[in-house]
Amino acid sequence: VYTVMNSSTDESYHRWDGDTLKRCGKELGITIEQQSVPASQLMTKALRMASSKSLPDVLQLDASEMPTFAEAGGLIPLKDLGLTTTDIPDGIVDFGSYDGKYYGAARTVNTLALFYNKDI
């Protein structure tokens, strides 16, 4: 059994995440349990859990919170778990890295663009 803690407390997101984790778990032959905490409380709860060594197996943090959590010693570089970034674009690796170590994959990545009419 693996545990994922996230901030998917909104019913539709919680259900979607739960269904996705269940489907992935079935494909892998494991059970994945979802623990959802309100976004405003996730970092505080995760830091408290880190200090008591009771963190979940996977923690979904906002990218802006990752450096604080890495500094607190709450994350393991994915390289230490035997995972490689070989096929991952540099920008995505940079997004999940702190102080030269890759800690996590972005759940979603988007590209923003601005189109304009230069004649106007």
Structure tokens at 110: 């988007």
Distance CA 102, CA 91 (A): 12
Q: What integer pLDDT is reported at residue 88 of this predicted model?
A: 87
The pLDDT tens digits of the residues spanning 46-76 come to: 989 988 889 999 998 887 888 888 888 888 8
Q: Computed over its alpha carbons, how large is the radius of gyration of the chain?
A: 17
**Average pLDDT of the residues in 76-98:** 89
**Average pLDDT of the residues in 5-23:** 93
Q: What share of the chain is helix, strand, coil (3-state, %, to 5)?
A: 40, 15, 50
pTM of this structure:
0.76
Distance CA 56, CA 52 (A): 12
